[in-house]
Structure formats: structure tokens, C-alpha cells
Amino acid sequence: MIVLGAILSLASCTGEKTPVYLDDSKSIEERVEDALQRMTFDEKIAIIHAQSKFSSPGVPRLGIPEVWCSDGPHGIRMELLWDAWRAADWTNDYCTAFPALTCLAASWDREMSAIYGKALGEEARYRNKNVLLGPGLNIYRTPLNGRNFEYLGEDPYLAGKMSVPYIQEVQKVGVAACVKHYALNNQEYRRNDVDVKLSDRALYEIYLPAFKEAVQVGKAWSIMGSYNLYDGQHCCHNKRLLVDILRGEWGFDGAVVSDWGGVHSTEEALNNGLDLEYGTWTNGLTLSEMGLDAYDAYHMAVPLKNYIASGKGDAKLVDEKARNVLRLIFRTTMNRNRPYGSFATDEHAAVSRRIAENGIVLLKNENRVLPIKPESVNNILVVGENADYMMTVGGGSSELKVKKEVSPIEGLRALYGEEKIAYMKGYTQNEDEKLESIEALKCAAAEADAVIFVGGLNKKHFQDCESRDRKEFGLPYGQDAVIEALCEANPRTAVVIISGNAVATPWLDKAPAIVEGWYLGSEAGNALARVLSGEVNPSGKLPFTYYTKLEDCGAHNFGDICYPGLLVNGEYPHFKRLKTDTVRRINLEYKEDIFVGYRWVEKYNIKPAFAFGHGLSYTTFEYTPVSLSRSSMKEGGKIVASLRVKNTGDVAGSEVVQLYIGDDESSVVRPVKELKGFEKVHLEVGESAKVKFEISADDLKFFDEAKHDWVAEKGTFTVYIGASSADIRSTAKFELR
């Protein structure tokens, strides 16, 4: 490869001025255009498809470097072999694992999103990755989706706002955030085959807003298409999503990257907005009969070159793709001023722990079972396989090779002292392993000062894992019986669920304390122990609805056509051998429409186990009634909603104040209320703080399908201020005139 210095020296020797594309004083657009006009057609074709599993070529002749991508949203993935999905067995790629994005969403804290993005960007930069494949912004439509743990919850407003600081801080380090998976990738089951049908209202109100926020406010430099189809076209080359909406309506100027192996047509890839093709297998296809180098067989390689040579395609579209990829390179690797980054540092571990502590959710705490103060106990019984199980492995593309992972049992022993902690496995995923009886567990629990059960899901197939959905809503491995026995034996039992999804809780009334512990990353055990002991006061809030039963979720109320979808001939697709594209197509209709999560349960007065936005504290907070700056406003005006929140308990803590708005007299069916603001405030004992929200007409709009535009109708609106979607502390009304 010709290095940059050599090119500069050559220009100097010949008396030629430094090329514009190498001149940092020029704008990126000037540099991109200069480089583009110097490139041959073959060089343009080369930079728009992969050369290895995770890289695509630059332009060696011009000293323009390669693009190197890395999974994932929670940490920088281990190095893989050039052509195979196997570890390269490096010894210097042990990373920091950050909490799963569901945990970040549960913090409801923009500061946590910012420090997450900064630290993750620094790790990517140190490893010389210039595209980070994250964050994931798909909506939590069903708790069976195996990849929900990689996303930011069920509400588009929350997901969008929490993504922006992450994206901005990653990119400040000179690494492109690649927002994924655009769009409608809301299940893993048959993700390559499902053809999603939904109303434009659902598309624009629920499934697109977080992506729009990431593009227009976060200014994301790249975006990844999803595996599924939308309206008959694969999303990696879907004209409506990529050309009409992403570029046309939102003004996106970054690079569109395919998901690995998500490209199916040279013609559609050329015409429908894809810029950079990556593949799953060595060639992404099965085209050995072409006699080509593996990566030359990609849809956007030799097949594209031949397609244009035949007169069927427009070469100007190749220029546009090359331009977008060049812009990506000039924003990242060709930026000489970007910092060097850092990797697997103590500082990053501290960031990971802080995010984890802010995201852990205290769901229930009767009789103040929690916190368990170290000085108040002599012996604690810890039960559950997840207490001593690595959660950074598995899960698909987000699997990490970590420098360290502190397990819950390690964290508890370190905080309470080994002599105070007894451990019994209680359940196991290994069917051949023999355990102690339920009676033995009950006897041990009865003798303990406190019991901590650590269970939930893991990242194996059919739990929280890429490419597979969960088979059931309930907990696996017979955990329910273990939980019930422990709660019966000891009234000081705390149940900790490790998961990225809601789970069935048939023991809800019997368990005095319940904690949602997520996948917490490298410092998981330390963060969890600090919350359980009271060193940290929990402040997380649920980013999705915790249903009592699966049927309480809107996606599971209309039969198989709504989830998991039906074959084109109307048959259920499970275990079917699919041989042709026609048979492979699975129809999936979002019949619940805009009523996802709390919107659904409020529409039908369903009581969930735990509501969206719910989360308790070891202290208490008092809200004053909300007041509005005015009783009416016109289009273009604003109303300020304000209140005070006071810590009325006996320990310092943080509260997430949530603003929802409902339309009292709409001409179309609308949710009872929708999230339109949130603020997290930290308060010392007895301290109070003023919380303010600005409300504009944009917060009142719905998507009018007939007008293809956002509309705010005149009339009365209600402001709801709450500690969750179900815990509304005060309301106020105003008029839009």
C-alpha cells in the first residue's frame, strides 16, 4: 500500500501541489470530490464491497485507507480470521464489556449515554476500527425477540433521545456510529424471510422516530440495513426506506452499510440506496462457478461491474456510493486530528460499572427486604446458576472477549466477605447435572439471614441471542419452583433476574423483593452487589412493559400472522424446509398498529406485572402538582410544564420524572398518552429541585397518512407527570388554538 507520506513526498519532488483530498484545510466535501475524480471505475467498485469479514478496501494508489468495522454496541469484538467466523486468537484484544443497551435505556440518563459512547469510541479507536456497528434502535415489539437486549426499549422517544449522546461521543473520537438495524427488524425468528406489512402511522410514529433522531440530531455517519423485508423488498436495498425516507425526507449524508449477507440483488443494490456491501460467508453468496475471487463475487463487485457494462445500470450511481464511502473515510481514518483512544483501562471499567449501577431496576421491595446492609447479616445464601455464569459470551455478534467479568457471586463475596456468603446452584441448564433437592434449598434458606436468588435468562440460543427468538415467556430450567421454595422458606428473599427481556413472574405475589439485573458487562457483580447492599441507591426505570402474561402484549393477540408470521400459503413456518425465494417469504402483519407496549395495555386497561417507566428507590420522592406557563398555545408556540421534586426519605437518591401527553379529542384513534419528556434528578436527603419541560406543537402531532405529514389538531391536551406510565402524580390541561 502506498502510504500517505510517500504520496506527499512524491508531490513535493515533482513540484505538484498537495492534492486537495490530502489537504486538511479543505472541506470534507472538497476532498471527497477531488479524490473521486482521481479514481478509476474499478477503484470505485472496489471500495463499495468487502475484502474480508470486517473490512473493505480503500484506494491504495491514492493512499486512502481501508474501512474496518467492529461489532458491537456493547464492546469491541475479538479479532476474527480474515475469511472465517473463528477467533484469530490474538492476545491483545481483551476488551471492556459495557452493559447491554437495555440497561443503558433503563438508566433514563443522557449522561450515561454520553460516557458510554465516549468510552466505547475510545476502545474502537485504539483497535483502529473506524466504524462501530451500533447502537441498535429497533423497537421492543415482543418480549420473545432474542435481540431485545441490544436495543433501547419499546418507546421511540426514549430510544431516540438515549441514542443521541452515545452516537455523538463515539464520533467525537473519530469513529463512525453505524445505527442499526434499519428498519422493522423486531424479531430474530426467520429474520431473513419475514416480509413486514404495517400502516404508515405505525411506521412513522413507532418504528422510525428513533432512527430519525439518530440521523438528524445525532448526525450518525453510517446506518445499517436490516435482514428482513418491508413491503416486498429486502431492507438492505429497499427504495422506500433508503432512498425516499432516509435520503429524501431526512437528508442523510452518511454511508448505508448492509447487514452481513443481507444483499440479494445487484439491480436493487445499485438503484435503492445501498453504499457498502458486507457478507456472511466468504463470498456472501454461492458463486464459485463464476471463477472469481471470493469477494469479487459480491453483488456490488464484478456482478455490478458487468451489469453496468451491459448498459442496464447507471454508472453515476456507483459514483454516489463511492462518494458516500469516501465521506465516511474522510470523517474517520483520514482525520489526522482524531485522538488515539484507549483500551480495557480501569477508567473504562469504572464507566461500565457506573452505567450498570444507574440501570439496575428495583421492581419490588416489600418490607424493605433490600438493601441488605453488610452489618445486618452474618450469612447470606446465594442461589442460582446465573450468580456464577459468564454473560459476556454468547448472544451472537455482541459476544465479547473480556479482560475481566466480575460475576454476581464474586461481587457479593468481595463486598460482604467470603465467610458470609454460601452458594447453592439451585438449577442448571445441564440436564445431566445432579443438584440438591428443593428441600435442601429450603432448609438452607430458612437458616440464612437473607437469600439472594440470581437467575433469569442467558445468551444461549432461544433465550437472549441473535438469530433466535425465545420459545417461551417463562423462565427456563425450572427456576419458578426454586424461587417459590426460597420465598416460602425465608421472607428476606430477593429475586434478581438477569436478562435483556421481560419474563413471566408467576411467583410475583410471593417474592418480597425483585430486581431486574440486565447484562451488566465487565463490572456486573460489583455493580449488583453495591445496589443490593445499599452502597448505591437504585434509580433505573423499565424501558419496556413487563407483562404478566404473553397474551397481554399486542403482538400476540392476532394469531400467527402477527407473530411469528405465516408462509405465503398461510401455513405456520416452524420446521419447514424452505428451498425457494417464493416459499421462503413469510408474511408478517403488525396488526397492533401503533399500540406497542404501554400504549396497548392502556388502551385495553390491562394491568402489567410492572409498567413502562417503573422503578423503585431506597428513598421516597414527593412531587408538587405540575403547573403550566399558559393555558393555551398556537402552532409555533411553546408551553413550559414545571414542578418540584423532593427527596422525602432517609438516603440520597435519583428520580426519573416522566412527561406524557394525551390528546383529549382527536379525529383519529390515539394512545391514552405518549412519552414526550424525561429528566433524571439527583437529590440529597431533604433536597428538592425544579424540573421543567418545554412542550411544542411537535409534541402533539400524529402522522396523517392521507396528507403524508405530521398533524397537530386544535383542541384540548392533557399533560401527565409521573414516576412511571402507571404512576401518574399530577395532570394539567391546555388548548392548542
CA angle 304, 308, 312 (to 5 degrees): 115
With contact defined as beta carbons under 8 Å apart, do 360 and 534 qualify? no
Q: Parallel, antiparallel, or unpaired for β 715-722 and 653-663?
A: antiparallel
Q: How far is CA 598 from CA 79, 183, 552, in A?
A: 40, 21, 10
Retrieve residue 234's grid coordinates. 429486502
With contact defined as beta carbons under 8 Å apart, do 106 and 543 qualify? yes
Number of H helices, E strands in the chain: 18, 28
β-bridge partners, 324: none
With contact defined as beta carbons under 8 Å apart, do 670 and 702 qualify? yes
> What span, in angstroms and rounded, lies between the C-alpha atoms of 235 and 223?
12
SS3 418: helix
Helix 315-331, helix 28-38: angle, nearest 10: 130
Identify the residue whose cell numbers are 407496549: 597
Retrieve residue 604's grid coordinates. 385495553
SS3 562: coil
Q: How far is CA 726 from the centre of its chain?
A: 24
| Residue 555: how many other CB atoms lie within 10 Å | 24
> What span, in angstroms and rounded, lies between the C-alpha atoms of 18 and 5?
11
**Looking at the chain, how many residues does it have?**
737
> What span, in angstroms and rounded, lies between the C-alpha atoms of 410 and 408?
5
> What span, in angstroms and rounded, lies between the C-alpha atoms of 417 and 713?
61
With contact defined as beta carbons under 8 Å apart, do 358 and 352 qualify? no
In the sheet with 361-365, reading across from the earlier edge strand, the strands are 361-365, 513-516, 493-498, 450-456, 380-383, 421-424
Residues taking part in catalysis = 259
SS3 95: strand
With contact defined as beta carbons under 8 Å apart, do 476 and 430 qualify? no
Retrieve residue 519's grid coordinates. 447484562
Retrieve residue 597's grid coordinates. 407496549
Q: Does the N-terminal peptide bond of residue 72 adopt cis geometry, omega within 30 degrees of 0? A: yes
> What span, in angstroms and rounded, lies between the C-alpha atoms of 563 and 551?
12
Q: What is the DSSP letter of 431?
A: T
